[in-house]
């Protein structure tokens, strides 16, 4: 992006004024809604909210920011009389507060629409979409822009290490957002990302997921087509060189430039370490920088290239982006090391799709060589529980020496067909005992869940500390 173009956006951003409003957010302790609340509060708005499960760390962050939180969804919350009710996508018909809002004809909106109307106008929005890697890639991109002096605003669906909160507003022309394809609200079944009108759009990958709202991959592709239609001519869509599902979407129309990543793409990588912990980045075939970091896995190399390409579109030289990522701390719960003593390493990871599980374990195997890997998995996403990925589960853990699965209600249909070294447990205590039994002098325990896993992480770490 040229300097004149940047100054135009900066003037528009600086000129934007918004009168102070009172927002009451339903489902405020969710990652997206809580981050939105913090952003609105930092912009000077009055923010209150409610939720059924009010607990730290989000509740603490919100209360410290001066946000009043009400427990539950009682109808009498309409008496708070905000200017706008912001309805989270976890809200459904039948909730007393929802029925009261509809019965009285009060003003309401979805979280993504609220963000679009009150935060994103006149911003250069850099949106990170795709089935996997959104949180990590969005955090990488935010760090690159921040290190380059852009001071971007951002909203990320995780806890980015190195930043104080999961979302912030600034006076910068730039805003990075993790662009989820999940639906916006019970009254707006469009994907969240269609509200953001990005000028830089990353589509990292595209697979079937979210079986609770999408019937098939084609339905998800329709939503990606919608967001691509919103990227302006001066914008850019960043994709892998060869992803059949994405290519099918692009074949339906592309009205902006395209930057490609991967083999023979605009941005490519040459591994100096098989694990992906050190690699050289090239732009149009010419080396532009080296990344030497603590992360592993080809998926993270891919994420890095996407972030570098997006930052390049915003005006950051690839060399500066590589230098920035060499100091990247990562994201909480994305292969986060939570214990490392005496040859035993325990990781906390968010992987909840066969592809994410597979690429994560591949990265660990390339890093640790022949050392023992124990994968401990809680398949709890709606798509996994519905059994859509059962035929891929065995292959997803092939790089682990032992795979321990939790299926307490026997909903997923896991069986011995997972392989000789796979075990399925119906309760958490039995699974915990099995994990402890697998602990050797040198072992890597990778605990994978997109939820709390019943506190298993903490129990394993406590056990190890007691034994040391």
Q: What is the mean pLDDT of residues 58-77?
A: 89
Cα–Cα distance, 39 to 168 (Å, whole number): 5
* Domain parsing of the chain, residue ranges: 17-110, 120-325, 336-467
Element (H, E) at 466: helix 456-467
Instruction: Report CA 285 to chain centroid distance, whole Å.
Output: 30
What is the C-alpha separation between 419 and 362, in angstroms, rounded? 18
CATH superfamily for 336-467 is Mur ligase, C-terminal domain (3.90.190.20)
Burial class (CB in 10 A: 0-12, 13-18, 19+), 174: buried
What digits encode the pLDDT tens for the residues 237-252?
Answer: 999 998 999 999 999 9
- Report whether pLDDT(11) > 50: no
Nearest to 272 by CA among 292, 286, 255: 292
Mind listing the pLDDT tens digit for each residue in 238-287?
Answer: 999 989 999 999 999 999 999 999 998 999 999 998 888 899 999 999 99
CATH number corresponding to 120-325: 3.40.1190.10
Instruction: State the pLDDT confidence band at 177, using cuts at 50, 70 and 90.
Output: very high
Cβ-based neighbours of 79, under 8 Å, separated by 6 or more = none
Specify the pLDDT at position 209: 72
Q: Would the pTM count as exceeding 0.95?
A: no
Mean pLDDT across the chain = 87
Query: Residue 241 is inside which H or E element, if any?
Result: none
The superfamily (CATH) of domain 17-110 is NAD(P)-binding Rossmann-like Domain (3.40.50.720)
- Return the percentage of the chain with pLDDT > 70, whole number: 88
């Amino acid at each position: 992006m040229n300097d004149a173009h940047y100054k135009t956006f900066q003037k528009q951003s600086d000129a934007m004024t918004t009168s102070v409003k009172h927002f009451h957010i339903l489902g405020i302790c969710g990652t997206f809604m809580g981050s939105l609340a913090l952003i609105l509060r930092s912009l000077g708005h009055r923010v209150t909210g409610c939720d059924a499960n009010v607990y730290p760390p989000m509740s603490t962050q919100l209360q410290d920011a001066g946000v009043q939180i009400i427990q539950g969804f009682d109808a009498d919350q309409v008496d708070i009389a905000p200017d706008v009710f912001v309805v989270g996508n976890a809200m459904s018909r039948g909730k007393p507060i929802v029925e009261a809002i509809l019965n009285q004809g009060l003003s309401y909106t979805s979280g993504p629409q609220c963000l679009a109307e009150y935060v994103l106008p006149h911003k250069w929005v850099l949106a990170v979409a795709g089935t996997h890697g959104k949180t990590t890639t969005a955090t990488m991109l935010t760090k690159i822009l921040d290190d380059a002096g852009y001071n971007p605003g951002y909203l990320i669906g995780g806890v980015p290490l190195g930043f104080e909160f999961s979302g912030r507003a600034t006076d910068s022309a730039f805003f990075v957002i993790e662009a989820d394809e999940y639906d916006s609200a019970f009254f707006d079944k469009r994907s969240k990302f269609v509200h953001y009108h990005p000028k830089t759009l990353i589509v990292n990958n595209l697979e079937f997921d979210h079986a609770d709202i999408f019937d098939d991959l084609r339905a998800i592709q329709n939503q990606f087509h919608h967001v691509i239609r919103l990227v302006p001519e001066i914008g850019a869509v960043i994709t892998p060189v060869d992803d059949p599902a994405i290519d099918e979407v692009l074949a339906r129309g592309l009205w902006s430039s395209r930057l490609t990543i991967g083999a023979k793409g605009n941005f490519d990588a040459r591994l100096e370490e098989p694990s992906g912990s050190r690699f050289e980045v090239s732009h149009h075939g010419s080396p532009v920088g080296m990344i030497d970091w603590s992360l592993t896995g080809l998926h993270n190399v891919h994420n890095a290239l996407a972030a570098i390409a997006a930052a390049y579109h915003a005006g950051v030289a690839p060399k500066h982006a590589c230098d920035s990522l060499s100091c990247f701390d990562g994201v909480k719960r994305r292969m986060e090391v939570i214990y490392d003593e005496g040859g035993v390493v325990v990781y906390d990871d968010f992987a909840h799709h066969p592809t994410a599980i597979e690429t994560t374990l591949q990265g660990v195997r390339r890093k640790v060589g022949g050392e023992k890997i124990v994968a401990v998995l809680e398949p709890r996403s709606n798509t996994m529980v519905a059994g859509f990925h059962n035929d891929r589960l065995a292959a997803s853990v092939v790089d682990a020496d032992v795979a321990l699965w939790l299926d307490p209600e026997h909903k997923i249909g896991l069986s011995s067909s997972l392989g000789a070294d796979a075990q399925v447990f119906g309760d958490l205590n039995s699974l915990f005992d099995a994990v402890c039994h697998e602990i050797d002098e040198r072992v890597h325990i990778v605990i994978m869940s997109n939820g709390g896993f019943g506190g298993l992480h903490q129990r394993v770490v406590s056990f190890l500390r007691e034994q040391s």
